[in-house]
Amino acid sequence: MHILLQLLTACVGLRSSIATSSTYDYVIIGGGTAGLAVANRLSEDPLVSIVVIEAGPNAEYLPEVFIPGLFGSGQALTTLNWAYSTTPQPMLNNRSLVINAGRVLGGSTTINAMLFPRAGRAQYDAWAELNRDASWGWDALLPFFRRSERVTPPDAFQVDEGGVTYDPEVHGSASDGRVKVGYPNMFFEQSTLWRQAAVAAGFPGEKDLGSGDPHGVGVSPESIDVANYTRCSATCAYYTPFASRPNLNVITNATVTRIVWDIPSPGSYSGKGQRNLRAIAVEFVQTGSNGIESVTVRREAVVSAGTIGTPKVFELSGIGNSSILRAAGIEPVLELPSVGENLADHVHSYVSAFTNASLTFDALLTNPDAISEQLSLWVTNHTGLLTSFPGSLGLPGPSNIFNNTGNFPTLLQEAKANISHFAHLFANGNALLEKGIRAQHEIVLRSYADDVALPLENSLFPGYAGTAADRPQRNYTTIMNVLYAPLSRGRTHITSSDIRTAPVVDPAYYMHPLDAATHAAGISLARKTLITPPMDSIYLGEFEPGSKVRSSKDISNSLRAAIASSDNHVTGTMAMMPKEIGGVVDTKLRVYGIENVRVADASIMPIPVSAHTVGPLRLSSRSLLIRNQSSTVYVIGERVGLFVSSQATFS
Ligand SMILES: *[C@@H]1O[C@H](CO)[C@@H](O)[C@H](O)[C@H]1NC(C)=O
Ligand SMILES: *[C@@H]1O[C@H](CO)[C@@H](O)[C@H](O)[C@H]1NC(C)=O
Ligand SMILES: *[C@@H]1O[C@H](CO)[C@@H](O)[C@H](O)[C@H]1NC(C)=O
Ligand SMILES: *[C@@H]1O[C@H](CO)[C@@H](O)[C@H](O)[C@H]1NC(C)=O
Ligand SMILES: *[C@@H]1O[C@H](CO)[C@@H](O)[C@H](O)[C@H]1NC(C)=O
Ligand SMILES: *[C@@H]1O[C@H](CO)[C@@H](O)[C@H](O)[C@H]1NC(C)=O
Ligand SMILES: *[C@@H]1O[C@H](CO)[C@@H](O)[C@H](O)[C@H]1NC(C)=O
Ligand SMILES: *[C@@H]1O[C@H](CO)[C@@H](O)[C@H](O)[C@H]1NC(C)=O
Ligand SMILES: *[C@@H]1O[C@H](CO)[C@@H](O)[C@H](O)[C@H]1NC(C)=O
Ligand SMILES: CC(=O)N[C@H]1CO[C@H](CO)[C@@H](O)[C@@H]1O
């Protein structure tokens, strides 16, 4: 029996062979952040076979990918990116934004800015409360955070010069931790001054941002291998060192077209929690070929195609809101109307100021000689400006930042009084989801009032990080200002049965008035820290939004007109919530009504968390940089690996 299985796994281990009609125990749709984590942990058991089907290529050999300081440049962002466009956003003067997401092995961790912080205890505890399941609270997740990473603790230089604070209790460094994590080895004068200014402005200093209480200013670790200062993507962490496992198969450049179901007799699947719709095969097309190929699912399929890609796979497979499916020409198989709904995204913005700081990143954006010089420094010595992402110093800001804006108590009261109105508006006629969004808003507004919400992040980028291509050729400080706790909820759906047609994406930015007000308050906070001593000593005036933009109304208008963009942290479209409040997956991440399919990616996060998920932000018209909620997405992958393998022992 075992010999047979070993023979079988050895056969399917021929990676270069075309997989048509091969059979695998586990078929993983999407080789991104969580998908590769699941594949890695499942393949620890040599007796099971796994195939990962990834739409993009393996791009680990590209310097734009492996040299950290080239984050989001050139080829990486144009060819390895889904670059989804949103619908015109009514609250952003009808602008359509771009949401970046990795279309490459390793997903967004291959093209993001490598920041590797975690959100606060209260944000994960909110998932547990919503699901009445403590296994998703901070205390239960901490072991998975530790298990996913292999941290090189900071050395004396990083502690003394960079102000890095490290608490070994909350980090993982065991050899079975997969993601190599470390701290930058170069720090900027303006970062030090800003850290001191933030403390002077009342923020706690010396924070390990992974402690569960990230309120304060601290240096985020990065997903980099400090042995040679290279990026460590999900591919570096979970695939490359294990590529020789005969039971771990990866097919790149292959886009899944649908899951094929064993459909029970009509109606029987909708009965009392019965799970009898079963995935039997997964179909895909390889880039450059028209033929549909297929692999057979022996045990389970895991969908890890991202917050926008995953609902697309389900809708193309007949799972979703039947009126949306029929309009797209897809015959419904299972009515699950919350698929694609509940979408939330962090919103990015910034204040940029002129500076006379002695060293900034600007030369790299404007001066080809500076880039060559730094490249040769990286190649010969692994030092210099390209060794890390330079914007790792940040502070998650609590709700009490509103104290100085006067109208916050009123806005909070109004939001509470208006919960029904907005839950109804965001639920799109889905009565169960309306209850779920109401429950989310109640938790988030309570955490605002209790001052445990972290609705904003300010972080320092030592150079220009906005979008003005025609800016004055000077040196800059940019304070990035991210809205972390949006109450607005939008949606993504297919409009066609043709897989090449991009789905419609509507994040409903600023649709809730508190979102716009919070984000504007973050601009005021950023301005305050820029002119607080000792940061004021290098401040030479504001460039954007500009010193004429003063009142909160003017700030909001400027965000709406130009400055707000996606922070590429979309979540929630396959929400983990009880079915009776509009959830799509249960707390083992199994899709309701389906026997053997789970979801593992940021789409299951019911409420967005106050940390980087895995997303990109625009640096200039020519280069883009990407940031990431990846530490949390890895946790989802690690958990799914365990759910699946522990269940397998029973089946
Ligand atoms: C995948 O596609 C890329 C172009 O996007 C191509 O360069 C590469 O050779 C392809 N890889 C395979 C294995 O087909
Ligand atoms: C946005 O578009 C809608 C629909 O086309 C239009 O009614 C509205 O006036 C536009 N808003 C702005 C600010 O242009
Ligand atoms: C960096 O070092 C790791 C081992 O820690 C190695 O696997 C990888 O190939 C190196 N990358 C480069 C670009 O030198
Ligand atoms: C910008 O800073 C660089 C050093 O990083 C310096 O050489 C250059 O003169 C500065 N440019 C301006 C316009 O101040
Ligand atoms: C090369 O690296 C060494 C050790 O990290 C460092 O002391 C030295 O300053 C670096 N050289 C240059 C030119 O940066
Ligand atoms: C904001 O106000 C609350 C009470 O209204 C107080 O507890 C908190 O310390 C204040 N925060 C700041 C930064 O002033
Ligand atoms: C509720 O929201 C609506 C729409 O934004 C607004 O017109 C109304 O004034 C709000 N009511 C309260 C009590 O906040
Ligand atoms: C299904 O989608 C349609 C069109 O968007 C919407 O009007 C309807 O309310 C949705 N039904 C459910 C149950 O969500
Ligand atoms: C920057 O300019 C200010 C005066 O505008 C000066 O006080 C300060 O010392 C200068 N700092 C640096 C690093 O040149
Ligand atoms: C929030 C976000 O963008 N998460 C993405 C992180 O990367 C993985 C892998 O590409 C995606 O599945 C997630 O959607």
Judge if 419 and 541 occupy the same domain: no
Q: Are residues 315 and 417 in the same domain?
A: no
**Residue 491 in contact with residue 574, Cβ under 8 Å?**
no
- The closest of 273, 343, 337 to 87, measured between CA atoms, is 343
Assess whether 323 and 404 both reside in one domain.
no
Task: Report pLDDT digits (tens) over 553-570.
Answer: 999 999 999 999 999 999
- Reported as a single tens digit per residue, the pLDDT across 588-605 is 999 999 999 999 999 999
| Upper half-sphere CA count for residue 458 (Cβ side, 13 Å) | 30
Q: Is residue 376 over pLDDT 70? A: yes
| Chain Cα centroid distance, residue 1 | 42
Ligand nearest to the CA of 560: 2
Nearest ligand to residue 379 Cα: 3
Instruction: Examine residue 173 and state whether it is found in any structural domain, yes or no.
Output: no
CATH number of the domain bearing residue 200: 3.30.560.10
- In this prediction, residue 295 has a pLDDT band, given cuts at 50, 70 and 90, of very high
Q: Is the C-beta atom of 614 inside 6 A of ligand 10? A: yes
| 307 CB within 6 A, ligand 10 | yes
Closest atom of ligand 6 to 403 CA is 1
Amino acid at 248: L
For the chain, percent of residues with pLDDT exceeding 90: 75
For residue 11, the model assigns a pLDDT of 33
pLDDT at 363: 85
Neighbours of 328 (CB within 10 A): 18
Query: Mean pLDDT over residues 6-19, rounded?
Result: 35
135 falls within a domain: no
Domain range for residue 597?
1-130+233-346+495-500+566-651
Is the domain of 109 the same as that of 205?
A: no
356 with 471, same domain: the answer is yes
Write the residue with the smallest CA distance to atom 1 of ligand 10: 569
Asked whether residue 35 falls in the same domain as residue 93, the answer is yes
| pLDDT for the residue 12 | 34
428 CA to middle of ligand 8, Å?
A: 6
Q: How far is Cα 109 from Cα 32, in angstroms, rounded to an integer?
A: 8
The DSSP secondary structure of 274-314, one letter per residue, reads: ---BEEEEEEEEETT---EEEEEEEEEEEE-SHHHHHHHHH
Look up the CATH number of the domain holding residue 264.
Answer: 3.50.50.60
Query: Of all protein residues, whose CA lies closest to atom 11 belonging to ligand 6?
Result: 400
Question: DSSP string covering 623-640, please?
Answer: -EEEEE-HHHHHHHHHHH
Of all protein residues, whose CA lies closest to atom 6 belonging to ligand 7? Answer: 418
Nearest-CA residue for ligand 5 atom 1 is 381
Q: Is 305 a member of any domain?
A: yes
Q: How far is Cα 295 from Cα 28, in angstroms, rounded to an integer?
A: 11
Give the model confidence (pLDDT) of 31-89 as tens digits. 999 999 999 999 999 999 999 999 999 999 998 899 999 887 755 677 899 999 999 99
Looking at residue 267, its pLDDT comes to: 54
| pLDDT tens, position by position, 630-651 | 566 677 778 777 767 554 332 2
Indicate whether 73 belongs to any domain. yes
- Strand runs labelled E in 84-178: 84-85, 98-99, 149-151
Domain-embedded: residue 146:
no
Ligand 9 atom nearest the C-alpha of 538 is 1
Mean pLDDT of 147-160: 95
Are residues 469 and 447 part of one domain?
no
Strands (E), 288-427: 292-303, 319-320, 334-335, 347-348, 350-355, 393-397
Summarised one tens digit per residue, pLDDT across range 391-450 is: 999 998 877 776 656 677 888 899 999 999 999 999 999 999 999 999 999 999 999 888
Catalytic residues: 569, 612
pLDDT for position 561: 97
Per the structure, the count of domains in the chain is 3
- What pLDDT shows up at residue 21? 54
Ligand 7 centroid to residue 417 C-alpha, Å: 8
Known binding residues for FAD:
104, 256
| Chain position carrying tokens 């029970």 | 264
User: Contact at 8 Å (CB) between 84 and 308?
Assistant: yes
User: How far, in Å, is the centroid of ligand 2 from the Cα of 90?
Assistant: 7
Same domain (yes/no): 394, 416: no
Whether residue 110 is found in the same domain as residue 245:
yes
Q: Which ligand is nearest to the CA of 105?
A: 10
